[in-house]
Chain A
Amino acid sequence: MSDGGFRRIVAAVDASPLSLAAAATACSLAVRFGAEIEGLFVEDRNVARLASHPYVHTVSFIAARRQAGGDALIGKAMELQAMAARRAMDAALAVAGARGGFHVRRGLVEAELVAASHGADLVCLGWSGRAEPGARPRLGSVARALAGGVAGAVLVMQRTAPGGGPVTLLWDDSAAAERALAVAVRLAGDGIVDLMVPAPDAIAGAALAVRAVGLAEGLGAQARIRAAGRLARLLAVVAGDGILVAPAGTGMPLDDLPCSVLLVR
């Protein structure tokens, strides 16, 4: 991945809207970088155990009471969820024309995905899973776990609508930032990368960005400073329909992501 490309991509698909967007984006990237892709659906072992468990109580969100035969429904619902995930992955592959497959694993979701990500240089998944009705959307536990627990890059999709917006690079002058720059240059179709530079002030930010501009020129692209300053303020001006490429470990607050983010190590 030192050239900024990806060879093997894993897409975590649970048929939730954001996971479907992640699958579509993953397929698109797979075509662009000539990578192989693997769609993965993990049947939560804990949830799977609930199916036909004689001592399980399920409480319906919509009826707010225990539902009869809920344990039996769980197994069926999981089957359907896996089927929907497979169909979505197949459709995304067909639309993008990508090479890849789809697998179902059973286990603890985070652990299974971390395991599946070994050997992959990019994992794509949704920012949150399925939200309860009326509940506030929150960063999913799986996304949180993968963002900090895999060796390769992680793309966390925050929007269901197709992107098309600008590619923005969070530049902190680190080695990971250099790799992120290479990825950003490959992602930017027009060869222009906007730089966001976390720094105490604009002058310090501009100084930091000089090297990025030079590196970008070396890669045949153009980097330009979009903003420099405190990280929280920078995130407020990121375009929602774009992709923010960031080196991992910058303290990026994933809970309040303004757009989809690609974490590069």
Chain B
Amino acid sequence: MTMPAVPALPPDQLYRSCDPETLPFVTTADLPDTEGPVGQDRAVESIRFAIGMRHRGFNLFALGPEGTGRRSLVMQFLGQAAAGQLVPDDWVYVNNFAVSHRARALRLPAGRAAGLKKDMDRLVEELGSALPAAFEAEEYRNRKQALEESLKERQEQEFSAVSREAGEKSVALLRTPVGLALAPMRDGEVLSPDDFKQLPEAEQARFKADMEALQEKLEATLKQVPHWERETRARIRELDQEVVSFAVSHLMEELQDRYADLAEVVEHLAAVAADIADNVGDFLGDGDDDRARLKRREGSEGGIRRYRVNVLVDNSGLAGAPVVFEDHPTQPNLIGRVEHFAHFGALITDFNLIKAGSLHKANGGYLVMDARKLLMNPFAWEDLKRALKSREVRIESPGQSMGLMSTVTLEPAPIPVDVKVVLIGDPMLYYLLSHHDPEFAELFKVAADFDWRMERTDATMLGIARSIATLVRKESLKPVDRSGVARVIEQASRDVEDSGKLSTHMGSLADLVREADYWAGRDGAGVISAAHVQQAVEAAIYRQDRVRENVQEEIRHGTVHIATEGETVGQINGLAVLQLGRFSFGRPSRITARVHAGKGDVIDIEREVDLGGPLHGKGVLILSAFLAARFGAEMPLSLSASLVFEQSYGGVDGDSASSTELYVLLSALGEVPLRQGLAVTGSVDQFGRVQAIGGVNEKIEGFFDLCVARGLDGTQGVLIPAANVRHLMLRRDVLEACRQGRFAIYPIETVDQGIELLTGLPAGIADAKGEFPAQTVNRKVQARLAAYARRAEEHARRAESARDRRGPP
């Protein structure tokens, strides 16, 4: 075996350590709190811009991966901005006495809504005792009784007059079950029909004429009764209003003085006074008679509920503009709702049951929501947009807004809103909304793009240290010494798979510190050090790596064939990454290739059986193109090749194995054995350049774990794209094995470098005639392809001769 042309990477390129000595503190106790998120300058600027822009449509969408501090940052900046802004007005709903189902909205200066409610409650309470007292007064009762008696006397007088006249004319006026009856009478008894017929005709005629006349008088009297009753009711009402007016006036005047500066409130008070005068029975309605029952409205309070004040928004407790985070943005929670209560089997409501939504509560300030939750709740997104576009909140149930409700319900007056909405969501949601919802761009003109990673600099490392210090103080954790902080920083690089960058996912880092605190506690340590952080990392992996262990075990037991020593033609170790929840790990895969004479096809078996994804198919086509370009310039490629991930029963996607597949194809074509102690990852382009892939650390570690299990012999290692070297943040044990020369990582730039490492043979460079030197991999491949081409040519020639012998068909 010749020495590889590409040397293994030195240990310092496999892991970028953070030297604790470079950190300017002993423990996090020495550090002040962080002033804000680290590495989110772009997002911060966007948030500041959005807050500063009060124009329409400049709402904010904070996009970024979860855990990057989007919400805390947004809330922090909004809180700061809101503290310097004016406290917005209060809002109340009151009864609309003109159209009762359209509740009126009144705006009051901040803090005065509760006072108005209290005042109206007190008014109702005082009227509840003052009005009954007024109506129980002897003077009132006497006056009312006099009016009622005069009605009855009038009726009696009129009927008595008719009755008297009837008696004088010997006509009986009788009350019967079907009304009053007039009949001829003699000696106090009604004449029977026979007796009547015995009367002289003149007397009969007189009776008839008298009865006709009496009937007309009776009808006229009966017709007058409703008029008299109406007159009496009107007089009683006037009397009632006179009494109410006096009882209410001194209470109302006090309120009208108090709210003289609020024209709408004064107007409402006048409407209340007028309504009380018209409906005073509601304050006297303890009677059990039918009339009193009818007058009592729903609920125990009856009709007096309509004089109450429903405080929708009370900003009395605020020192600035409101900042509301709506954790459950359903449509009712967002725009408000009208509640109902059951009353004798019917659902009843009134303006007192109007409940504020978060748009009301955030009016004049800021409303923050999770975009995904908002979109998941039916009608919430559409109603939010409607409110933002119309700049008013209209409370409608989904049934109402869709026109499904036909029953009478409340239509509260819409309330004007001036609110800055901040949505927090992942980038995909932002892009989907931008693409599919034309109103989105119009309403959310500012995007705060939270990066999931940042440059690894002294400043950002110190920023993470201060974030840890803040967390430690906030959650009363043990201080973290600088070795511990250094280890957290290293893990932050590992999390983003880039030794030159750090993760901005503070949620994960905070969890790591919390878990390290637990292990430090188990150790009885007063300070969290690197060992505790390392223990937390390993414990977290251990808790999640059952599947990885199972996979490794299957390979070790030979159930899944993966060779880690020797050399084999047409077989190579590829590397894949499996993601299970938040844990990902590398899994070696055996890739094989078989070739034979054919028509130049490379068959991707995974693709043929629909297990290969489009990116994998693309990779295979690229490597086919590379083969054709390198070896098909002078002769047709008369081969057929098949590629397969052996013992793979799930889907395969991505092009990170395309270089691996090319190596194994070259091995099969050139019949050159490949070193089985090496595993390969990397995609390839049509020129044979090896390109970067993802999950490089997990892939290396996956193969390393298998080799360790079988015993490291110094020949094992992994070929990775050279472009991935900066992403290396390998585990300590891998690092140590590489340091001892028992394992190696090779940075590969071209396919030729890789094939040389894998075969121990030079790849070979074509001369001017396009021929490769002897004893090179490419020469062997070229020779095999040439042989296939000759056979194909001979086959074609024989077929042509046979056709010639048979003659024309």
Which residues of chain A have a CB within 8 Å of any CB of chain B?
44-47, 49-50, 52-61, 64-67, 70-71, 73-74, 77-78, 80-81, 108, 130, 132, 134-136
- Within the assembled complex, what's the spacing in Å between the Cα atoms of A45 and B188? 11
CB distance from B801 to the nearest CB of A (A): 122
B156 near A50 (CB under 8 angstroms)? Answer: no
Neighbour of A60 across the interface among B178, B193, B204, B212, CB < 8 A: B178
Q: Which of B746-774 contact A (CB under 8 A)?
A: none
B218: chain A residues at CB < 8 Å are: 59
- Within the assembled complex, what's the spacing in Å between the Cα atoms of A229 and B180? 43
- Within the assembled complex, what's the spacing in Å between the Cα atoms of A73 and B177? 9
B190 near A58 (CB under 8 angstroms)? Answer: no
| Residue in A closest to B208 when the chains form the complex, CB atoms | A55
Q: List 16 A-B contacts (CB under 8 A).
A: A46-B189, A49-B192, A50-B174, A55-B204, A56-B181, A57-B215, A58-B176, A58-B180, A59-B181, A59-B218, A64-B219, A64-B223, A74-B181, A77-B176, A134-B225, A134-B229
B174 near A47 (CB under 8 angstroms)? Answer: yes
- Within the assembled complex, what's the spacing in Å between the Cα atoms of A66 and B216? 9
The listed residue with most A CB atoms (<10 A of its CB), out of B155, B177, B184, is: B177
A61: chain B residues at CB < 8 Å are: 179-180, 222
Neighbour of A59 across the interface among B189, B208, B219, CB < 8 A: B219
B189 near A55 (CB under 8 angstroms)? Answer: no
CB distance from B386 to the nearest CB of A (A): 54
B97: chain A residues at CB < 8 Å are: none
Residue B183, interface by CB 8 Å: yes
- Within the assembled complex, what's the spacing in Å between the Cα atoms of A200 and B192? 54
A74 near B176 (CB under 8 angstroms)? Answer: yes
A77 near B175 (CB under 8 angstroms)? Answer: no
B179 near A59 (CB under 8 angstroms)? Answer: yes
B191: chain A residues at CB < 8 Å are: 49
CB distance from B185 to the nearest CB of A (A): 8
| Residue in A closest to B225 when the chains form the complex, CB atoms | A134
CB distance from A12 to the nearest CB of B (A): 17
CB distance from B176 to the nearest CB of A (A): 5
Name the 8 nearest CB pairs between A and B, nearest first: A77-B177, A64-B222, A57-B182, A46-B190, A136-B152, A49-B190, A73-B178, A60-B179
A55: chain B residues at CB < 8 Å are: 183-184, 193, 196, 204, 207-208, 211
Residue B362, interface by CB 8 Å: no
A74: chain B residues at CB < 8 Å are: 176-178, 181
B219 near A65 (CB under 8 angstroms)? Answer: yes
CB distance from A209 to the nearest CB of B (A): 32
- Within the assembled complex, what's the spacing in Å between the Cα atoms of A78 and B172? 18
Query: Taking A54-B193, A64-B219 as contacts, is the C-beta distance between A49 and B175 under 8 angstroms?
Result: no
A67 near B178 (CB under 8 angstroms)? Answer: yes
B175 near A130 (CB under 8 angstroms)? Answer: yes
Query: Taking A64-B222, A74-B178, A77-B178 as contacts, is the C-beta distance between A59 and B192 under 8 angstroms?
Result: no
CB distance from B184 to the nearest CB of A (A): 6
CB distance from B170 to the nearest CB of A (A): 13
- Within the assembled complex, what's the spacing in Å between the Cα atoms of A46 and B184? 10
| Residue in A closest to B212 when the chains form the complex, CB atoms | A57
- Within the assembled complex, what's the spacing in Å between the Cα atoms of A44 and B183? 14
| Residue in A closest to B183 when the chains form the complex, CB atoms | A56
CB distance from A128 to the nearest CB of B (A): 12
What total of chain B residues lie within 8 Å of the partner, measured CB to CB? 34
CB distance from A108 to the nearest CB of B (A): 8
CB distance from B153 to the nearest CB of A (A): 9
The listed residue with most B CB atoms (<10 A of its CB), out of A50, A78, A81, is: A50
A49: chain B residues at CB < 8 Å are: 183, 189-193
| Residue in A closest to B222 when the chains form the complex, CB atoms | A64
What 1/0 flags go to B189-204 for Cβ under 8 Å of A? 1111100100000001
B212: chain A residues at CB < 8 Å are: 57
- Within the assembled complex, what's the spacing in Å between the Cα atoms of A55 and B156? 26
- Within the assembled complex, what's the spacing in Å between the Cα atoms of A78 and B174? 14
B172: chain A residues at CB < 8 Å are: 46
B155 near A58 (CB under 8 angstroms)? Answer: no
B215 near A66 (CB under 8 angstroms)? Answer: yes
The listed residue with most A CB atoms (<10 A of its CB), out of B179, B191, B218, B222, is: B179
A70 near B179 (CB under 8 angstroms)? Answer: yes
- Within the assembled complex, what's the spacing in Å between the Cα atoms of A71 and B183? 10
A59 near B184 (CB under 8 angstroms)? Answer: no
| Residue in B closest to A134 when the chains form the complex, CB atoms | B225
A52 near B193 (CB under 8 angstroms)? Answer: yes
- Within the assembled complex, what's the spacing in Å between the Cα atoms of A234 and B183? 44
- Within the assembled complex, what's the spacing in Å between the Cα atoms of A53 and B194? 9
A135: chain B residues at CB < 8 Å are: 152, 155
A57 near B181 (CB under 8 angstroms)? Answer: yes
A134: chain B residues at CB < 8 Å are: 155, 225, 229
- Within the assembled complex, what's the spacing in Å between the Cα atoms of A73 and B180? 12
CB distance from B159 to the nearest CB of A (A): 8
B223 near A45 (CB under 8 angstroms)? Answer: no
The listed residue with most A CB atoms (<10 A of its CB), out of B174, B178, B196, is: B178
CB distance from B618 to the nearest CB of A (A): 93
Further 17 A-B residue pairs, CB within 8 A, beyond A44-B174, A46-B172, A46-B183: A46-B190, A47-B174, A49-B183, A49-B191, A52-B193, A58-B180, A59-B180, A59-B181, A60-B179, A61-B179, A61-B222, A64-B222, A66-B215, A73-B177, A73-B178, A132-B175, A136-B152
| Residue in B closest to A44 when the chains form the complex, CB atoms | B174
A58: chain B residues at CB < 8 Å are: 176, 178-182
CB distance from B762 to the nearest CB of A (A): 119
A59 near B215 (CB under 8 angstroms)? Answer: yes
- Within the assembled complex, what's the spacing in Å between the Cα atoms of A80 and B204? 32
- Within the assembled complex, what's the spacing in Å between the Cα atoms of A54 and B192? 10
A50 near B179 (CB under 8 angstroms)? Answer: no
- Within the assembled complex, what's the spacing in Å between the Cα atoms of A250 and B729? 118
- Within the assembled complex, what's the spacing in Å between the Cα atoms of A45 and B193? 13
B180 near A47 (CB under 8 angstroms)? Answer: no
CB distance from A62 to the nearest CB of B (A): 8
B183 near A53 (CB under 8 angstroms)? Answer: yes
| Residue in B closest to A72 when the chains form the complex, CB atoms | B178
Query: Taking A49-B183, A134-B229 as contacts, is the C-beta distance between A59 and B190 under 8 angstroms?
Result: no
- Within the assembled complex, what's the spacing in Å between the Cα atoms of A52 and B192? 10
| Residue in B closest to A77 when the chains form the complex, CB atoms | B177
CB distance from B181 to the nearest CB of A (A): 5
B177: chain A residues at CB < 8 Å are: 73-74, 77-78, 80-81, 130
The listed residue with most B CB atoms (<10 A of its CB), out of A57, A65, A78, A132, is: A57
- Within the assembled complex, what's the spacing in Å between the Cα atoms of A78 and B219? 23
CB distance from A233 to the nearest CB of B (A): 16
CB distance from A241 to the nearest CB of B (A): 14
- Within the assembled complex, what's the spacing in Å between the Cα atoms of A44 and B156? 23
| Residue in B closest to A14 when the chains form the complex, CB atoms | B177
A52: chain B residues at CB < 8 Å are: 193
| Residue in B closest to A108 when the chains form the complex, CB atoms | B189
A57: chain B residues at CB < 8 Å are: 181-183, 211-212, 214-215
Neighbour of B219 across the interface among A45, A53, A54, A66, CB < 8 A: A66
